[in-house]
Amino acid sequence: MEGLTSIVIFGASGDLTGRKLIPSLFSLYCKGRLPRQWRVLGLSRTPFTNEEFQARMEAAVKEFMPEQFEAQAWAEFAPHLAYEPGNLNNVEDFQDLDARLAKMEAEADGPANRLYYLAIAPRLYEATVANLGAAGMIDESHGWRRVVIEKPFGHDLPSAKALNAAVHKVLDEAQIYRIDHYLGKETVQNLLVFRFANSLFEPVWNRNYIDHVQITAAEKVDVGHRAGYYDGVGVMRDMVQNHMLQLLSLVAMEPPASFAADALRNERVKVLASIRPVKVENVARHTVRGQYRGYCEAEGVAPDSQTATYAAMRLYIDNWRWQGVPFYLRSGKALAEKTTEISIFFKRPPHLMFPLPPGARLEANDLSICIQPDEGIHFTFQAKVPDTAAGMRNVDMSFHYADYFGETPIPEAYERLLLDAIKGDAALFTRADTIELSWELVDNILAGWQSDAAPPLITYERGSWGPAEGDALVAHDGFTWLLSCREH
Ligand code: BG6
């Protein structure tokens, strides 16, 4: 019997709950994907009645998912939402919460399952998990208990290790669901389908055919009202440690034998373990750091802040598949456009029998996977220009989600992740070892940035593509950053 699933959201008055969690649950409800018996119990310090909480959530869904809001469905959904004020540092509040949950559970049939979602400030993670344990709320004798933990999981390797150790005191690793919402994105999951459900690409997906790989995660927005959080965190901790390294690991991993959570996670972690650490003495050669003009004037930012809002880097993966293939990563705020793209550049033909105009160079084939916004895949190749002797130019073979799946809106990443956590599928969540390895890589670079060997922090203009040094990093190796998806 399926039983009752209670989703307990800690941090229920916060931004994430209204912006992502409740809209995603509402959408899952409308699609009929939630368990037959389910409840949400929101908790935070602010006192609200159930009705006030429901009204706030209704406003949030209308604001953040206007096209999907439907009054009739909301009227059925809303009574499932309840609220309990509480202090996460107070074990008594957890006991009260447990009693309230137990009362709801007593009225339902079958097992009483609980998903605890930590949508709270990271400094409260440890206390919250400890209090869940102290209040006996992790005990699985009446149903499963799982805890979803948002990013950032730690702010460096020692703090991530300490947090892992603290949560492991209370929870088994199999009960912990560390979220990286990039893994919930449809296009990121499609990367796995593209690589492993087609036989064409895998044979050439290696150093024999691939010249280099570029991963761009550019954002148009600046740090805005999150400046207080962002300062001291910067792009390395905010985007590279999690989202970008996850993208890299999906591009570079070996084919897993199955879609079982650990089969997939084992392969991802092996990639991270094979990335060559950037040594302090090489940090200026392999990395670039930038800060957009005006960043220091934002409220909450130190006037002399050295926080990087842009980073570009060259990484190598020391294994048989990727030896010698550079992976270039770049990410930044206040850039020209919002775009996330992975481009795989293939090697040029070993010999060209066609004459090229003086000074011209044959463009390599490139395969670009557009994660967002215009989701799709592009493959560029050379074609003969009609009515010329041997004129050639790059042409594009494209797949846009909108052309094939136009009717089906791409779901919010949190929908998939929430549902997977409810189902107990951890494939798209991050395991303790992955978190620690990714912090180790990032810490190495950040240590270099703190040292005398650091590359200078370059100021770049808002609305640009970042500092010229970022372009020079790839130009040094004979390449340019390319955003095929934007062009096609
Ligand atoms: C978050 C970062 O994890 O990802 C933000 O903290 C960033 O700074 C966001 O803006 C980007 O996510 P998305 O889905 O908009 O690409």
Please provide the CATH number assigned to the domain covering 4-150.
Answer: 3.40.50.720
Q: Look at residue 395 in the predicted model and tell me its pLDDT.
A: 93
Q: Ligand 1: which of 189, 243, 438 to mutate, judged by most atoms within 8 Å of the beta carbon?
A: 243
Say yes or no to pLDDT of 486 above 80. no
More confident residue, 12 or 390: 12
List the single range of 37-51, 57-71, 383-397 with lowest mean pLDDT: 383-397
Q: Look at residue 485 in the predicted model and tell me its pLDDT.
A: 72
Say yes or no to pLDDT of 2 above 80. no
Report CA(338)–ligand 1 centroid distance (Å).
11
Confidence of residue 79 (pLDDT cuts 50, 70, 90): very high
Say yes or no to pLDDT of 308 above 90. yes
Report CA(337)–ligand 1 centroid distance (Å).
14
243 in catalytic set? yes
Query: Which residue has the least CA distance to atom 4 on ligand 1?
Result: 239
Q: Look at residue 361 in the predicted model and tell me its pLDDT.
A: 82
Q: Read off the tokens for 116.
A: 């605890």
Residue pLDDT, tens place only, 257-267: 998 999 999 99
Query: Which residue has the least CA distance to atom 8 on ligand 1?
Result: 238
CB 125 within 8 A of CB 149: yes
Atom number, ligand 1, closest to the C-alpha of residue 238: 6
Report CA(360)–ligand 1 centroid distance (Å).
39
Report CA(346)–ligand 1 centroid distance (Å).
29
* Ligand 1 interacting residues, C-beta cut-off 6 A: 151, 219, 238, 340
Q: Look at residue 408 in the predicted model and tell me its pLDDT.
A: 78
Atom number, ligand 1, closest to the C-alpha of residue 226: 8
Every domain range in the chain assigned CATH 3.30.360.10: 184-487
CB 4 within 8 A of CB 38: yes
Instruction: Indicate which residue of 155, 181, 212, 243 is catalytic.
Output: 243
Residue pLDDT, tens place only, 328-367: 999 999 999 999 999 999 999 988 888 888 888 888 899 9
∠ Cα 122 127 129 (to 5°) = 90
Confidence of residue 374 (pLDDT cuts 50, 70, 90): confident
State which amino acid sits at residue 163: L
Report CA(284)–ligand 1 centroid distance (Å).
26
Q: CATH class for domain 184-487? A: alpha beta
Cα separation, 325 vs 318, whole angstroms: 9
Say yes or no to pLDDT of 484 above 90. no
Residue pLDDT, tens place only, 425-473: 999 999 999 999 999 999 999 999 999 999 999 999 999 999 999 999 9
Query: Which residue has the least CA distance to atom 10 on ligand 1?
Result: 219
Atom number, ligand 1, closest to the C-alpha of residue 180: 3
Q: Look at residue 417 in the predicted model and tell me its pLDDT.
A: 97
Residue pLDDT, tens place only, 161-200: 999 999 999 999 999 999 999 999 999 999 999 999 999 9
Report the mean per-residue pLDDT for the chain.
95
Every domain range in the chain assigned CATH 3.40.50.720: 4-150
Atom number, ligand 1, closest to the C-alpha of residue 182: 14
Q: Look at residue 1 in the predicted model and tell me its pLDDT.
A: 61
Query: Which residue has the least CA distance to atom 9 on ligand 1?
Result: 239
Q: Look at residue 254 in the predicted model and tell me its pLDDT.
A: 97
